[in-house]
Structures are given as structure tokens and as C-alpha cells.
Structure 1
Amino acid sequence: MDTHKVDVDLKKVQSFMAGARKQRKSMSNIGFALLFMVAVLLYTTAMHGISGTGVLVVGAAMIGAYMAMNIGANDVANNIGPAVGSKALTMVGALIIAATFEAAGALIAGGDVVSTIRKGIIDPAAIADQMVFIWVMMAALLSAALWLNLATWFGAPVSTTHSIVGGVVGSGIAAAGASSVDWSQMSAIAASWVISPLLGGIIAALFLYFIKRSILWKEDMLEASRTWVPVFIGIMAGAFSMYLVMKGLKNIWKPDTAMLWLVAFGGFALTWVITRPLVAKASLGLENRRRSVAKLFTMPLICSAALLSFAHGANDVANAVGPLAAIVGAIDATTLDGGKVGIPIWVMVIGAIGISIGLILFGPKLIRTVGEKITKLNQMRAFCVALSAAITVIAASWLGLPVSSTHIAIGGVFGVGFLREYLGSIRDSKGKKKALTLKEARIIKKRKLVRRREMFTIAAAWIVTVPIAGLLSASLFYILYHTFEG
């Protein structure tokens, strides 16, 4: 018997079975997603009926649920991807933590008022007709959801907010002309495509460089860790305390600047006092190796993933349900005071559950992209990415710069990767400058620690997000409005 042929045939059977299992899992995930959509359909139909304007509410709720699942599938990966890629969390553990804290953030701190005409980019007075406004929001919501779905399929993490912005601009122009758009605001959003990843990358790289100088390049890394790891964890606690108050809890508490700094310093001091003896105890018995030092960052990294998920749920649920709330408000003849409208609790629940379902069913693909495919992450590098995300959002808020949390997190991943590339070309593992031959220098120069293909794919997806969402939204508005109002 030809054993080689048997081995080849066996591998073909195993490959076929693996593909079949993957296909069955994909179909079952789609089935669960459809069950959620059916549940939303039945609930909203029971509440509003399908006669008159009720059918619009039902349709809008279905699109809102679809949008929420796509946010969960695409956007949440930025919060937990680095933790998974560094092996601080398993995929299952990350999904459970993120889904729990995303839903908690959406329901606890999601707020009862949201700007439905996103970030003031469309003048509400330009769309005075109630039905035109409804179809503008419907087209914007559906186009953003479709683009997020497509980007997830391609494995590109994109900004949910930019998708919604593009959608509202596209349908707004189709409905009321280009003069209805605040183009200065759009210029600021375009600038954020560069500002967000650049700030995120620089801050993450600076923290990683400081960790290398203060810990990894020392002769006794464990002794240095006992001094500096509690400081880094304290900085994380202070940054996230301020981040959560500014972003995650902004709808239920708005402290002044002095109070924000007091919260940040209190978070730093309390965490430093608590973690200093814990880090000293955890370092006992460990080998004086980088891998041992990285383990000391595992628990802080898990906490940061949970906190980022909470703040994300509090903020980005509005991207899913803001236009839905606007539609419901317009149908119920709610006054659109400055483009704002109250969000009914059932709308918030759809957003919270939808984000969690989308994350669990379809999120792993983007989580792997962020955590594993761009560059290799360990706990220290992932920690720097998470810390950068919080600090960059805080800094941008004070400077009045419109930034994307998605772009910041991905920029942080690129930042630590490029820093490693650069340092690897001039220093050894102990931080000492290398004396390289010409041949060695050429070999090192060719070594890439950041995958360029992933970088260009993601950058291209960021650039086309607003234009594609806008064109798609304008087309959908034309189809929907002239089909139903014709």
C-alpha cells in the first residue's frame, strides 16, 4: 500500500471536514442573528403594529438591530483584540468580558439624549419635512450597517462614527443639497483620519519605549518591575478613571476640570498603593526574563479591556440607535430640539443586545486581525495600546480634535510594531547599540515586524469609509423615498 497516497488522501479529508465545520458554524451564526432580528420584528410589531407609521418604526428597529450587530462585529475588536493577541485572554474569555461590559455601558451610561443629526454635520432646518427626515435617517443607518458588514467581511476594522457620518452626509445631500452640510466639520473629520492613528501610535510607542528603558534594558528586570510596574498600572488607573468620567459617564455626571484631575490622581494613587505589594509578591520566584515581566501586566490588561468595552458601549450604542431614536421621535411627532431626541429604553436595549450578539457571533475575525495579524503583541505591548487609547481620547477631547477610537487603537498597534522594527535595527535585547556588518544591516532592514499588507488594507478602508457610506446612503435615500413616497 502506498502510505504517501494514504496520507495525502487523509489530509484532503481532514481539510474538507474542517471546511465543512467552518461552513456549518457560519450558517449557525447567521441563523442566531436572524433569530434576534425576528425577535425585534415581533416585539416592535406588537408595540407599534404594521399599519400607518407603525411599519416605519418596525423597519427602523430592524435596521437598528442590524447596525448594532455590525458594530459588535467590527468596532469592539479594538478594545479586546490586543488582549487576545497577547494571550492575556482567551477568545471565549474576551468575548464574555466584552459582551458584558459593552451591554452594561450601553444600558447604564448610554444616556437618554443623543444628537441624532450626527455631530452637527447637517442643518436640521434644511430638512423640515418629517417624512424626508425619516428617510434620510433610515438610509443613513442602513448604509452604515451595510458598509460595516462589508468591512468586517474583508477583515478591516473601520470607524462606526465615520460610517454614520458618511451615511448622514450622503442622504442629507440627496435630500436637501450640498449646502445643508457643514463642510468645515467634514474637514475636521477628514483630518482625524491622520490625527487619530498618529496620536495613538506615538503615545503607545512612547510608553513601550519607556517600559524598555526602565525595565527591560535593566540588568535586574524583576527589581525594576517592582518599582515601575505599579507606576504604569497607576497611570492606567488614573487615565481610565478620567476616560470613564469624560466619555463613559458623561451623560450622568459632568464634573469640571479640577474634579477630573482629582479623579485621575485619586485613581493613580489608590491603585499604586494597592498594586505595589501585589506586584512584589507576584514577582517572587519568577525568572529574570522578559516573559516573566510580561506576566505582571496580564491582569491590568484584562481590566483595561473591560473598561474600554464599558466606555465603548456607553458611547457607540448611540451610533446604532441614534438614527433609530430620531425616526421614532419624528414618527411620534417629537420636537427635534436642535437635532436631539430622547431615546426610549426599548431602543437602548436593542442596541445593547445587538452589539453583544454581533460581537459573540461575528467578532472573532476582527479580533484576530487587530490582535495577531498586524504585529506580534505580548502583554506589555498590548497594555501600551490600551493605555494609549484612553490617553489619546482624553487629550483630543481637551484640544477639541475629532478623533476615532477605532483609529487610535489600530494606530497604537502600528506604533508599537514600528518602534520594535526601529529599535531592532539599532539595539540588541539589552538596549545596547549594535555593531553591525553591512550584510547584517541589510538583513535587519528587510525584516518587517508590521505586516504591510494589513496596514495598506486598513488605511484604504479608513479613507473610503465616508465616501462609500455617503454614496450608498444617497442611493438608498433615492430608492426608499421615491418608492414609498413617489
Structure 2
Amino acid sequence: MNDSELLLVVVIVTALAFDFTNGFHDTANAMATSIATRALSPKIAVTLCALLNFAGAFISIKVAATISSGIVDQGVLDLRTLFAALIGAAAWNLATWALGLPSSSSHALIGGLVGAAVVASGWSAVDGNALVEKVIAPAVLSPLICGAVAAIGTFIAYKMQAGGPDRTVRRSYKFGQIGTASLVSLAHGTNDAQKTMGVITLALVAHGSLVQHGDDFSVPLWVKVVAASAIALGSYTGGWRIINTMGRKLTEIEAPQGFVAEATSATTILAASSYGYPLSTTHVVSGGILGVGIGKRLSEVRWGLASRMAAAWVLTLPAAAVVAGIIWTVADGLGGATGPILLAVVAAGGAIALFVATQRGSSAIHASDV
């Protein structure tokens, strides 16, 4: 196996590792509210989330096409640049997971791609208009729109039941949550799994193993299967720290609120996927959860935590970009496949150390605690 082939393998493995972190980081998006209201048990919730994430990955490739060619000049994205972008994105995912803060895996990946591309070839490698139109504007608007709709829906749901929904109505909402949570999981697969597919496809093109014809963008079936499997496996492990934040800490959620939050989030994500926008499912769902808290009682939202989450959202793109830029510089300095291999080993060791330290901490969250 020559250096080019070895580097391709390293990039694909790193992409799947990122996909795995995306899965356990974002399980909360689909299942936090259903677990919080006890519409689903934690184990059933993560199993259902994993299966539907896998299925959703095969519905469309529009988001994968956007990731591969819509923001960063495809000619700049060689194997070393893609590797650096993936490490930057995965590092941010792990850092925010350890802090229990929901952040955007999508924006982490895009930030990584932008940072690595800029360091490698300068700002001309990035389409600023596409970055604003397809990433930054949706990042700002989607949680606001979803939150506003969720707030109105929650207000109406409680207004229709004087004194609050009775036991029968709450039970009906819990059954409804099974459907809406499933829809969010499916929507997550249609959006987030696509990003890893796009990166692996780019790696194959950069290596010369895959030839794309004209403007037609295609993803090999095996790439779809492995990317879908990685995000599904990550979803099944459950990101319990973030589930606890979104399901319990941000606001107290009852069944009617959970149903409304999930329904509005799923609708928003599916609409974005149909247009090929690499939307942050975390931003959308967090906006929906904030909305249902506002819709019931403004004081029930823990605004201090919400502000910390917002700060993490703002930092995601630049933080991942900086890490990716550093990784590209080191890998380029070492040359060949040696640099990425050494950096991959160091990154894996750091991830394991972080996981062990976090699990030993007194604040570690497990399925039985949620």
C-alpha cells in the first residue's frame, strides 16, 4: 500500500469516527424530549433513533452535494485538507459533549473544511456568499423560526385545556411523541449522515478512485452504508450528558411541549434537507425546546444555560476552523502519510483520555440517570 492509498484509508476511518461522534452528540436532538416526558424509555429511544438515522441516510444526497462542492473549492480539498477538517470537527464535538453543551456537528465540519482550506490555499478557496446563504443565515433563522412556531403551538395546546391538559390528553401526547421523535430521527439521518458521505466521496475523488461526471454528483452505495452505520452506532450509544441538558436542564418539559417541539423541529429539518441546506439539527431542536418553554411560561427557561449554548454555537465555526488549520500545518510539515497517521493516533488517544476522565467525573450521566 503506497502513501496515497494509506492516507485515503486514514481519511475514511477519521470520517467514520467523526460520523460516530455526530451520532452520539446529536441523539439528544431526536430523543431528549421523549425521554424527559417518559414517552419512551432511554434504551428504546436510542435504539429507535439509531434505526431511523440509518434509514434516513438513504433518502437524499442533496446535503452531501452541498458539502462536497457548495462552500469550499473542491480542487483545494485534497486528502490532507479533508483529514484536518475532520479532526477539527471531531475535536469540537468531543469538547462540547464533555461540557454537556449541545452544539452543531454540521457547523463543526464546515468550520473544519473552511479552516483547512484557508490555511492551505487562502481565502479565495471559500465561497463567502455560499457560506452565508447556506450555513450562517440558516443557523440564525432556523432556531428562531422553529422556536417561534413551537411557542405558539405550546400556547395554543395549553389554552385549549383550561388548567392544563388532563391525564388522558397527556397520554395521547406521549403516544404522539413516539411518532414525532421518530420523524426527527429520520430527518436527522437525511441531513447529518449526508455530510460524512460528502466528505468520503470527496476523498475518493481526490485520490482518483472515483470520477464524477460533469455536474452530476453521486455517492457510491458502500459509502452510504458505512456512513449510515457509523452515525446509527453513535446514536445507539446515546449522548446522555447532552440528553440530560436538553431534556431536563434547559426547561421542564411535559408531553404536550415535547410533542410540539419534535413536530416543529422535524418539519424544519426535512424542509432544509429537501433544499440541500446542511442545517444544524442541534440549533433547530434547541430552538424548539426553548420555544415550548416560552410558550408555557417564560420563567421556566433557564436563560443562563441558554446563553452558554448560544456562545458555543457562535464559537463552533471559528474553533473548528482554527483546530483544522493547525492540524493541516502540522500534517503538511511532516509530509506524506506519516503526519496524518501520527496525528490520528494522538487524536484517538486524546479522545479516549477525555472519555475516561469524563466518565470518572462526578457529573457523568448515564441512561439510568436520565
Same fold by TM-score, threshold 0.5 exceeded? yes
- What corresponds to 2:149 in structure 1? 203
| Amino acid aligned to 1:63 | T
- Alpha-carbon distance between aligned partners in 1 of 2:226 and 2:272, rounded to the nearest angstrom: 30
- What corresponds to 1:442 in structure 2? none
- Alpha-carbon distance between aligned partners in 2 of 1:157 and 1:113, rounded to the nearest angstrom: 21
- Alpha-carbon distance between aligned partners in 2 of 1:361 and 1:334, rounded to the nearest angstrom: 32
Change in CA separation of 1:476 and 1:166 when aligned onto 2, cut-off 3 Å? same
Q: Give the number of the structure whose alpha-carbon radius of gyration is greater.
A: 1
Alpha-carbon contact 2:36-2:253 (below 8 Å) kept: yes
Q: How many residues align?
A: 336
Distance apart, 1:203 and its partner CA: 0.5
Q: Is 1:324 matched with 2:197?
A: no
- What corresponds to 1:407 in structure 2? 283
Change in CA separation of 1:400 and 1:98 when aligned onto 2, cut-off 3 Å? closer
- Alpha-carbon distance between aligned partners in 1 of 2:67 and 2:333, rounded to the nearest angstrom: 22
SS at match of 1:158: coil
SS at match of 1:122: coil
- What corresponds to 2:72 in structure 1? 122
- What corresponds to 2:264 in structure 1? 388
Q: Is 1:81 matched with 2:32?
A: yes
Change in CA separation of 1:101 and 1:305 when aligned onto 2, cut-off 3 Å? same
Distance apart, 1:294 and its partner CA: 1.0
Unaligned runs of 5+ in 1: 1-49, 222-288, 423-447
- Alpha-carbon distance between aligned partners in 2 of 1:112 and 1:415, rounded to the nearest angstrom: 29
Alpha-carbon contact 2:81-2:117 (below 8 Å) kept: yes
| Amino acid aligned to 1:72 | G
| Amino acid aligned to 1:334 | L
- Alpha-carbon distance between aligned partners in 2 of 1:332 and 1:385, rounded to the nearest angstrom: 44
| Amino acid aligned to 2:116 | S
SS at match of 1:121: coil
- Alpha-carbon distance between aligned partners in 2 of 1:351 and 1:344, rounded to the nearest angstrom: 11
Q: State the Cα deviation string for residues 370-424 of structure 1 (Å, max 9, x = none).
A: 11111111111001101111333466679998743221110010111122224xx
- What corresponds to 1:482 in structure 2? 333
- Alpha-carbon distance between aligned partners in 2 of 1:401 and 1:351, rounded to the nearest angstrom: 19
Alignment of structure 1 residues 309-388 onto 2, 5 Å: 309-336=185-212, 342-388=218-264
Aligned pair partner of 1:193 in 139, 146, 158: 139
Distance apart, 1:117 and its partner CA: 4.5
- What corresponds to 1:294 in structure 2? 170
Q: Is 1:453 matched with 2:310?
A: no
Aligned pair partner of 1:146 in 91, 98, 106: 91
Q: Is 1:134 matched with 2:84?
A: no
Q: Is 1:166 matched with 2:107?
A: no
Alpha-carbon contact 2:191-2:269 (below 8 Å) kept: no
Alpha-carbon contact 1:157-1:366 (below 8 Å) kept: yes
Alpha-carbon contact 1:207-1:384 (below 8 Å) kept: yes
What's the Cα RMSD here?
2.7
Change in CA separation of 1:456 and 1:329 when aligned onto 2, cut-off 3 Å? same
Percent identity (aligned):
29
Change in CA separation of 1:62 and 1:391 when aligned onto 2, cut-off 3 Å? closer
Unaligned runs of 5+ in 2: 340-370
Change in CA separation of 1:471 and 1:336 when aligned onto 2, cut-off 3 Å? farther
Change in CA separation of 1:370 and 1:119 when aligned onto 2, cut-off 3 Å? farther
| Amino acid aligned to 2:15 | G
- What corresponds to 1:91 in structure 2? 42
TM-score normalized by structure 1?
0.64
Alpha-carbon contact 1:203-1:392 (below 8 Å) kept: no
Distance apart, 1:337 and its partner CA: 5.2
Change in CA separation of 1:164 and 1:86 when aligned onto 2, cut-off 3 Å? same
TM-score normalized by structure 2?
0.82
